[in-house]
Amino acid sequence: MDQFTINLLFVGASFALYIGIAIWARAGSTSEFYAAGRGVHPVTNGMATAADWMSAASFISMAGLIAFTGYDNSSFLMGWTGGYVLLALLLAPYLRKFGKFTVSEFIGDRFYSSTARVVAVICLIVASTTYVIGQMTGVGVAFGRFLEISNFWGLIIGAGVVFAYAVLGGMKGVTYTQVAQYCVLIMAYTIPAIFISLQLTGTPVPALGLFGDHVASGEPLLAKLDAVVAELGFNEYTAHHADTFNMVLFTLSLMIGTAGLPHVIMRFFTVPRVADARWSAGWTLVFIALLYLTAPAVGAMARLNITEMMWPNGAAGEPVSVETIADDEKYNWMATWQKTGLLGWEDKNGDGRIAYFNEKDADTVAKMEAAGWGSENELTKFNRDILVLANPEIANLPGWVIGLVAAGGLAAALSTAAGLLLAISTAVSHDLMKGQLTPNISEKNELLSARIAMAVAIVIATILGLNPPGFAAQTVALAFGLAAASIFPALMMGIFTKVNNKGAVAGMLAGLTVTLIYIFLHKGWLFIPGTNSFTDADPLLGTIKSTSFGAIGALVNFCVAFTVSKFTAPIPTEIEDLVESVRVPRGAGAAVEGH
């Protein structure tokens, strides 16, 4: 059986499973569409939340960014994981206790303002739409390779699958679909990692193999990787080279952005009790850890495999004799991925080989010329989003592993896309339609408006996914910055402070506005479909990049909110009592007073 047929079987079977679950768990009421009837078990919810949270950025893109940058991109690991801890401890239980369906509804009620609710909807839609672009990018990458079609048609097919199960099932269907998707994606991520760890280190646990010895050389794996990339003129893998201040800001932006993501927060509204929300958070961390402890090893081992394949390190200055691309089967994966347009090379010196090195480093160029490799890097394009998906082919693993990875990459992208689209549709139908525009709308029509809103969101996300402003993980990082600057401060102030409605509205608008302006100025104002119109300009504020600005936007939000609140009327007594009832368990003060 050829590889295309294997891929088709794995992907087709997984899609049939997702759509079958959606039909079985079809939402029949708004309660089931928005919150799965609040009847999801904490373990089930933990697994579904892990799938919802571990997106294409985690599965497809993160290891690729770590692989080609090394230590400095560990910010993704620290920021996303640390942010989930913040969410679990500071927000999820209190929001579940409040008992509403959406984040925007909480903000509207807590800040006793329909304007605050509408502003929260705007912030949610902006952040979620940016986030879902990254997921659709991942869908296009995965489909483009494994079904051997263009990125465009990959996006179209992926959008159709999401439409089929998310629009039909709502939160109830999405929850149980995400449980299946978690099982698929975690197997697809860890099984190839185990194979590759055994090949390179003899250790079946990738996280341990990362700190073990390289079988072929006997050196520690990371020391071997440092030596190989340094010989090619690149930065040492384990060294820190980036601006520390920017790295800290980026990590902080990812942390507080994670804690403000509405599609993840919504998952905690699906459990029966507040205690179940805490248990869900704990189980989610367990399920997340399985992938996040493996990701650094995947990145490092893939980088070593690719680098050694393209540069068979002989003694410096001596000609190196290797098979040509046409004769050596280890290069077959490159020919396959070249068809997707995400990988490219040019044999500039006509020797039938691929020279991969840092052509900007004069010493390295001189060394490569002396070794007979020429003076130019012949790897002309390498989209880092392909690394995890290509990893099994690079390591020459069995065909069924490659098919499993195809299904896993799509599961990761589709699970998060469904959660984001559900958050968008809920905000439109429940917060705008029922909450503001048509308060007397029937439940049947509200459910219909939710499905229509989700369908429109899918179309918009697909169009924008054709020309994303970066790799999947970088696009997602922008979304985290927007959530950090707008939603997270409002939730924190709503639970733990006495900020009033005017302060909350002003803060959200200020945080969102300054962050959007900074992103567009840094990324480029123009967006023209089909062109590379997004480009990184020089940072406008010191060394702060657009992906790191979320923390600054959050600070602006807090400062504006507290300042405006200080010079306007205090919150009403009944709202103060409401905040206390959410934040302090019933009867908490009685034992202290009676002591």
What is the rounded distance in angstroms from the CA atom of residue 434 to the CA atom of residue 437? 6
- Check residue 179 and give its pLDDT: 86
38: DSSP letter? G
Q: Which two tokens stand for residue 259?
A: 């804690």
Of the three residues 439, 465, 491, the one that is the final residue of a domain is 465
386 and 408 assigned to the same domain: no
**Percent of the chain at pLDDT exceeding 70:** 85
pLDDT band of 512, cuts 50, 70, 90: very high
348 and 265 assigned to the same domain: no
3-17, 46-60, 343-357, 527-541 — which is least confidently predicted?
527-541
Q: Which residues face 345 on adjacent strands? A: 379
Around Cβ 570, how many Cβ atoms within 10 Å?
12
Does residue 154 carry a pLDDT above 90?
Answer: no
What is the rounded distance in angstroms from the CA atom of residue 27 to the CA atom of residue 166? 10
Mean pLDDT of the 362-373 span: 81
24-28, 253-257, 424-428, 586-590 — which is least confidently predicted?
586-590
- Give the position of tokens 């629009």: 167
Does residue 464 carry a pLDDT above 80?
Answer: no
Give the up-direction half-sphere exposure of residue 581: CA atoms within 13 A in the CB hemisphere: 10
Residue 525 counted as domain residue: no
Of the three residues 392, 414, 445, the one that is the final residue of a domain is 392
Does residue 499 carry a pLDDT above 90?
Answer: yes
362 and 237 assigned to the same domain: no
Residue 20 counted as domain residue: yes
Number of residues in the chain: 595
What is the rounded distance in angstroms from the CA atom of residue 182 to the CA atom of residue 163? 19
122 and 206 assigned to the same domain: yes
- Check residue 119 and give its pLDDT: 93
C-beta separation of 104 from 431 below 8 A: yes
How buried is residue 391: exposed, middle or buried, by Cβ count under 10 Å (0-12/13-18/19+)? buried
49-58, 149-158, 191-200, 322-331 — which is least confidently predicted?
322-331
Residue 492 counted as domain residue: no
- Check residue 511 and give its pLDDT: 95
Around Cβ 533, how many Cβ atoms within 10 Å?
14
pLDDT band of 169, cuts 50, 70, 90: low
Q: Which residues face 214 on adjacent strands? A: none
- Check residue 260 and give its pLDDT: 85
Of the three residues 465, 480, 504, the one that is the final residue of a domain is 465
400 and 424 assigned to the same domain: yes
Residue 130 counted as domain residue: yes
14 and 79 assigned to the same domain: yes
360 and 289 assigned to the same domain: no
pLDDT digits (tens, 9 = 90+) for 175-202: 788 888 888 889 989 999 999 999 999 9
252 and 121 assigned to the same domain: yes
Distance of CA 441 to the CA centre of its chain: 35
88: DSSP letter? I
pLDDT digits (tens, 9 = 90+) for 213-243: 999 889 999 999 998 888 888 888 888 877 8
pTM for the whole thing? 0.79
Q: Which residues face 541 on adjacent strands? A: 544
297 and 383 assigned to the same domain: no
- Check residue 528 and give its pLDDT: 40
The shares of helix, strand and coil residues in the chain, as percent rounded to the nearest 5, are 70, 0, 25
Contacts of 286 (CB under 8 A, 6+ apart): 46
C-alpha torsion sign, points 278, 497, 420, 533: negative
37-51, 56-70, 138-152, 510-524 — which is least confidently predicted?
138-152
Highest mean pLDDT among 32-41, 408-417, 543-552: 543-552
- Check residue 86 and give its pLDDT: 86
CATH number of the domain within which 414 lies: 1.20.1730.10
C-beta separation of 481 from 256 below 8 A: no
Number of domains the chain is built from: 2
337 and 457 assigned to the same domain: no
Highest mean pLDDT among 175-179, 184-188, 437-441, 522-526: 184-188
How much is the mean pLDDT over the chain?
Answer: 80
Residue 226 counted as domain residue: yes
Q: Residue 252 is part of which domain span?
A: 3-302+395-465
Q: Is 352 left (phi over 0), alpha (psi -120 to 50) or beta?
A: left
Mean pLDDT of the 81-100 span: 81
What is the rounded distance in angstroms from the CA atom of residue 509 to the CA atom of residue 561? 10
Does residue 459 carry a pLDDT above 60?
Answer: yes
Residue 537 counted as domain residue: no
Residue 326 counted as domain residue: yes
What is the rounded distance in angstroms from the CA atom of residue 137 to the CA atom of residue 60? 10
79 and 175 assigned to the same domain: yes
Residue 479 counted as domain residue: no
pLDDT band of 450, cuts 50, 70, 90: confident
372 and 454 assigned to the same domain: no
What is the rounded distance in angstroms from the CA atom of residue 93 to the CA atom of residue 87? 9
The SS3 call for residue 220 is: strand
Does residue 371 carry a pLDDT above 80?
Answer: no
Longest distance between any two alpha carbons in the chain, whole Å = 87
The SS3 call for residue 544 is: strand
C-beta separation of 73 from 58 below 8 A: no
- Give the position of tokens 């065909």: 399
